[in-house]
Structure 1
Amino acid sequence: MKAIDVQNLVKRFGDKTVVDDVTLSVEEGEISGFLGPNGSGKTTTIRVMCGLLTPDEGNGKVLGYDLRADQLKIKRQVGYMTQKFSFYTDLTIEENLYFVARLYGLSPARDYVRDTLDKLGLTSRKNQLSGFLSGGWKQRLALAACIMHKPKLLLLDEPTAGVDPKARREFWDEIHTLAADGMTVMVSTHYMDEAERCHRINYISYGKLLTSGTVKEVVDEAGLLTYILTGRNSQSAAKMLTTLEGVDQVTPFGNSLHVVGRNPDQLKKAVSEATEKFGVSCEVGETTLEDVFIQYMADSTDNMATHSEN
């Protein structure tokens, strides 16, 4: 059974269509990435799928429950971690978890809190006020609160923003452990290394779902070709390349350039001109997910420029 199976979702705020005919599915036990620029509709789509918002059009099921008729049932089976830290800063870690346990009617609450503190490595810090925690520990508290009621689906909205690399890696190790135990996870992120740790990814741009698949499938479908130019004059070559036909992206990496385009003949001609004029070396490179992300952003039109939703 699919954990998420929704069709033709539309959500409007006034005259703004924030989610525009989105159809997607997520298998049980899958980690599904949700990518897109700011204002693309990721957060709104997640809120519709976890029962917090009712779609204006479309239908589907989440965890087998109807998206419109069973919103309360969906809410009780979903863990939703928001972008912003949303717990009481003047309560300790343990007190915040007791509060959440009582909201869900978990009994005995002390057992759920104790087990969750232990599972997320929070026991030694349980008496710390949450307002004084670092970003990584706040993130861990938020995750603990989301999974304490043992949800079947975990929805994470840019969960690692502002967190150091070590904490991010530990967080993702925990997510893979949860998925291995059968939990389905959908996570929105701007970090390409995180997207590559997902089983599948979905790219949404200004309300429209543009592509879905494994990282390899999405990169292959984009049809981009990449050359890597290396040499002391590579930065001078960059200025020229941005003016040539067939070049869509020019990105410096130290003394090298990643040059990306969709038309093989035009791109090859442009790169040949640059290598000959500036004496830089050239080789075919591997197109990355970040290249694809940037290309989709460049090709998309922001039809919600005045809307601040992420």
Structure 2
Amino acid sequence: MVTTTNITKTYQKGTVKAVDNVSFSVEKGELFGLIGPDGAGKSSIFRMLTTLLLPDSGSATVAGHDIVTDYQRIRSKVGYMPGRFSLYPDLSIEENLHFFATVFNTTVKENYHLIEDIYVQIAPFGKRRAGKLSGGMKQKLALCCALIHKPTVLFLDEPTTGVDPVSRREFWEMLKRLRQQGITILVSTPYMDEASLCDRIALIQNGSILSIDSPQGIADAYPSSLYAVQANDLPRLIHVLPTYHPHMHSYLFGEYIHLDTRGMGGHDLPEELTRFLAAEGFGDIEVKPIAPTIEDCFINMLIRHDT
């Protein structure tokens, strides 16, 4: 349903490369995630695929149509929810829905089955102006408007940024139900924990794709052992750990420091590191092997890319 081949986009007269030779494909009915931090190029890719920007080079198709030559056909087949709330704040929920339905020459009633699960949550506030809604309610309204013309491909650009955890969870449950109706969904997010909710993901940084696979496939490909380390003085532990081995990589991860053992050989790490930290005056030491998360994999790829 979506293919990109070496698409590139630069800004400021070519001095800033936002998207650098990006290629990937998305199958029909797939929930595909573009995962990366702010400024990684996610929004630029989505804007090109929804025909709002022209690529400097490369090519792409959406629903079988070229994004440059067939842009009008693409616009009738895709739904797009940008990162910033872009509906009319002075119109009510009902007025926004009817307006977008009219733009696409349809009615809310005709495609109500697509938005029913979402609309029932915002219907009690149907007369309220969109600008007065909470973040979660704005999110649901924007999704309804993006679906009102029954798109075959849905683009959601950082849809859960700034939304409370409960609304985030509800939103992803809605996406699962939409996928069951055969809609192909592309979603971008800076939240690594949301990556596991996708069928496949592309990790992106500085406009380049680092890896494309299923979340489990990326985790399984982690190239070394990973440990979580904790002690009674975490701030000092952050500075002491790098002195244990010259090729060790460590970084703060919640209440622990994650330790990548790449290049450390066959050390009996938990016992040796515990003795080392005890000699440095630490107490309550814990060193345990852990399974890598998507965030660990992303950090590891960045480290490999920079070394």
Normalising by structure 1, we get a TM-score of 0.87
Matched, 1:65 2:70: no
| Secondary structure of 2:96 counterpart | helix
Deviations 1:119-158 (A, max 9, x none): 3122211111111110000000000000011101111110
Aligned equivalents of 1:133, 1:34: Cα separation in 2: 28
Residues in 1 aligned to 2:138 and 2:230: alpha-carbon distance in whole angstroms = 42
Q: Secondary structure at the match of 2:197?
A: coil
1:284 aligns with 2:289: yes
The residue correspondences of 1:12-161 to structure 2 (distance < 5 A) are 12-13=10-11, 14-15=13-14, 16-106=16-106, 109=107, 111-112=109-110, 118-120=116-118, 121=120, 122-161=122-161
Shift of 1:258: 2.2
Which deviates further from its counterpart, 232-241 or 18-27? 232-241
* Aligned counterparts of 2:58 and 2:115: Cα–Cα separation in 1: 39
Shift of 1:276: 0.7
Whole-angstrom CA distance in 1 between matches of 2:93 and 2:111: 10
Amino acid of the structure 2 residue aligned with 1:216 = Q
Aligned to 2:166: 166
Aligned-partner Cα distance in 1 for 2:298–2:240: 24
Cα displacement (A) at 1:263: 2.2
Give, in whole Å, the separation in 2 of the partners of 1:95 and 1:300.
Answer: 49
Number of residues paired by the alignment? 295
Matches within 5 A, 1:150-299: 150-232=150-232, 236-243=236-243, 244-254=245-255, 256-265=256-265, 268=267, 273-279=272-278, 280-298=285-303
8 Å Cα contact 2:114/2:178 also seen in 1: no
Give unmatched runs, 5+ long, in structure 2: 279-284
Cα pair 1:260 1:291 within 8 Å, conserved: no
What is the identity percentage for the equivalent residue pairs of Structure 1 and Structure 2? 34
1:68 partner SS = coil
- Quote the offset at 1:224 in angstroms: 3.9
Range moving further from structure 2, 279-288 or 122-131: 279-288
Structure 2 residue identity aligned to 1:127: K
1:293–1:271 CA distance, 2 compared to 1 (3 A)? same
Structure-2 change in CA distance of 1:133 and 1:113 (3 Å): farther
SS of equivalent residue, structure 1 residue 201: strand
* 2:290 counterpart letter in structure 1: G
Report the AA paired with residue 295 of structure 1: N
- The one-letter code of the counterpart of 1:285 is I
In the alignment, which residue of structure 2 is the partner of 1:5? Answer: 3
Q: Which whole-Å CA distance do the structure 1 matches of 2:69 and 2:289 have between them?
A: 53
What CA distance in whole angstroms lies between the structure 1 residues aligned with 2:253 and 2:7?
39
CA contact (8 A) 2:231 2:237 kept: no
Q: Contact 1:117–1:123 (CA<8 Å) still a contact in 2?
A: no
Separation (CA, whole Å) in 2 of partners of 1:22 and 1:8: 5
Structure 2 CA distance for partners of 1:188 and 1:252, relative to 1, 3 Å: closer
Aligned partners of 2:248 and 2:264 also within 8 Å:
no
Which secondary structure does the structure 1 equivalent of 2:52 belong to? coil
The AA in structure 2 aligned to 1:251 is L
TM-score if structure 2 supplies the norm length?
0.88
**How much is the aligned-residue C-alpha RMSD, in angstroms?**
2.3
CA contact (8 A) 2:78 2:151 kept: yes
CA distance in 1, matches of 2:194, 2:155: 15
Q: Does structure 2 conserve the Cα–Cα contact (< 8 Å) formed by 1:29 and 1:182?
A: yes
Q: Cα gap change, 1:233/1:89 in structure 2, threshold over 3 Å: closer, same or farther?
A: closer
Instruction: Quote the offset at 1:68 in angstroms.
Output: 2.1
Structure 1: 5+ residue stretches without partners: 302-310
Post-superposition CA distance 1:268-293 (Å, at most 9, x none):
47766531132424222111111122
Deviation at 1:231, TM superposition (A): 4.2
